[in-house]
């Protein structure tokens, strides 16, 4: 490793992160963040890791070290939530999560004294809230979204109950999870160090499945059962927090309980209007003007500013901007006159089947599918095929649509089989 200087190591790591659809646009601030989270040696090593999950044997081969030495390095990284260590029927495997939802958040999901969290929070604020390239890339660079909104179930009517699907319910995700972890809200923790935090609950960030188990093992979150998690969900409802979870039908890995003043997705929705940083719920609120008294409680409660008072026909009324609305149901909860109800959206909301499906769709939309399929760039055959696939993805839309049929029938099958090994 002595021949690789620090600049080269962190540059290689940045390039590795950006092979994944959820990357991290380079900037001086990003490099300062990476220098806080990774040593120079770790940056150089992690830059060589595959995109898909891998075992100790694979890392040892890539790094040209013994398996015992590779295991020590991997477990050290997992202990800091840089990597996730996942158990399956064949033993332990590791994966480098994307920056978000991933190791950027994990670094502030608990209090710790091995890094300067105040300085890290200041760097995060600069990178995410001031520079904005990361947020735009995260939320607006593909049609398929990382996250989606869960409607507040407590405001659903009987008619809503008939139409809502299981995977649209946060309670169903909680009840079906093999592991449930609760940790500190990264967004509000960051804003706490900036002196900008609100009074919403801090320890309410929910993680599920293998991701939860890894965070629990490494003391980044605490294990809870479904009953306690649903109690926390109710607490989130009472604080007008919006449930934003992974945009998949099966195997949801996280549900964040977001406020409108600290949380990245809500801030993006407020700032960039109807571009929708996350997929909406399948519901939209409607106002019954016959009994609305224009009290304005819904205006104040809306976490993204999608409701306002306007003049219409010389009369002041409350108006919902349906193009911006996420369909969370917070406004319904705050209407004491019950003048707001939820209706099913006319357009169908399409949700990817699972994480692999979501990532593949995002990769196709961003022209990065070759990075997922031909993960081992050391093989000349993979480099050649990746170049061919890259050229296909750069074709004009009409020609790419034709090529996509072959991509979906051949390459996606291969990708799915690779991820199931």
Dist CA 370 CA 121 (whole Å): 34
Dist CA 408 CA 402 (whole Å): 10
Omega before residue 101 within 30° of 0, cis: yes
Dist CA 23 CA 185 (whole Å): 21
Which CA distances in Å does 133 have to 37, 56, 278, 362, 393? 20, 35, 17, 18, 23
Dist CA 285 CA 341 (whole Å): 5
Dist CA 138 CA 18 (whole Å): 11
Token output for 271: 């700032």
Which CA distances in Å does 224 have to 166, 207, 213? 21, 10, 11
* Residue 222: strand, helix, or coil: strand
How many angstroms from the chain centroid is the CA of residue 397? 28
Dist CA 154 CA 236 (whole Å): 11
Dist CA 23 CA 330 (whole Å): 31
Which CA distances in Å does 169 have to 321, 330, 380? 24, 15, 46
How many angstroms from the chain centroid is the CA of residue 19? 17
pLDDT, tens digit only, all 421 positions of the chain: 444 566 899 999 999 999 888 889 999 999 999 999 999 999 999 999 998 889 999 999 999 999 999 999 999 999 999 999 998 888 899 999 999 888 999 999 999 989 999 999 999 999 999 998 999 999 998 889 999 999 999 999 888 888 899 999 999 999 999 999 999 999 999 999 999 989 999 999 999 999 999 999 999 999 999 999 999 999 999 999 999 999 999 999 999 999 999 999 999 999 887 788 999 999 999 999 999 999 999 999 999 999 999 988 888 889 999 999 999 999 999 999 999 999 999 988 889 888 888 887 888 788 777 777 767 554 444 555 555 555 555 556 655 555 555 455 455 445 444 444 4
DSSP symbols for 299-350? HHH-TT--EEEEEETTEEEEEE-TTT-----HHHHT-TT--EEEEE-SSPPP
CB atoms within 10 A of CB 359: 25
């Amino acid at each position: 490793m002595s021949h690789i200087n620090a600049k080269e190591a962190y540059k290689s790591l940045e390039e590795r992160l950006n092979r994944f659809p959820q990357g991290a646009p380079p900037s001086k601030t990003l490099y300062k963040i990476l220098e806080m989270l990774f040593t120079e040696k770790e940056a150089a090593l992690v830059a060589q890791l595959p995109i898909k999950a891998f075992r100790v044997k694979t890392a040892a081969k890539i790094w040209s070290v013994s398996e015992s030495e590779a295991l020590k390095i991997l477990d050290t990284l997992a202990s800091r939530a840089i990597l996730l260590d996942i158990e399956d029927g064949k033993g332990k495997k590791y994966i480098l999560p994307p920056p978000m939802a991933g190791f950027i958040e994990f670094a502030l999901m608990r209090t710790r004294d091995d890094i300067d969290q105040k300085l890290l929070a200041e760097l995060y604020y600069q990178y995410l809230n001031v520079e904005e390239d990361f947020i735009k890339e995260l939320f607006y660079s593909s049609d398929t979204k990382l996250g989606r909104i869960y409607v507040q179930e407590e405001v659903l009517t009987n008619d809503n109950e008939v139409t809502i699907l299981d995977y649209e319910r946060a309670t169903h995700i909680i009840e079906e999870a093999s592991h449930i972890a609760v940790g500190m809200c990264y967004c509000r923790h960051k804003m706490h160090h900036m002196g900008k935090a609100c009074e919403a609950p801090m320890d309410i960030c929910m993680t599920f499945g293998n991701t939860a188990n890894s965070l629990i093992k490494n003391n980044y979150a605490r294990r809870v059962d479904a009953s306690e998690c649903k109690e926390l969900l109710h607490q989130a409802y009472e604080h007008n927090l919006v449930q934003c979870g992974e945009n998949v039908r099966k195997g949801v890995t996280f549900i964040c309980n977001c406020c409108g003043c600290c949380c990245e997705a809500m801030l993006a929705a407020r700032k960039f209007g109807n571009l929708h940083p996350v997929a909406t719920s399948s519901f939209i609120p409607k106002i019954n003007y016959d009994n609305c008294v224009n009290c304005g409680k819904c205006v104040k409660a809306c976490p993204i500013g999608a409701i306002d008072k306007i003049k219409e026909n010389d009369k002041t009324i409350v108006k919902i901007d349906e193009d911006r609305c996420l369909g969370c149901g917070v406004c319904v909860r705050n209407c004491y006159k019950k003048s707001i109800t939820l209706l099913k959206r006319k357009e169908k909301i399409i949700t990817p089947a699972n994480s692999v499906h979501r990532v593949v769709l995002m990769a196709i939309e961003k022209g990065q599918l070759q990075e997922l399929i031909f993960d081992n760039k050391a093989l000349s055959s993979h480099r050649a095929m990746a170049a061919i696939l890259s050229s296909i993805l750069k074709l004009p839309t009409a020609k790419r649509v034709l090529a996509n049929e072959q991509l979906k029938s051949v390459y996606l099958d291969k990708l799915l089989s690779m991820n199931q090994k």
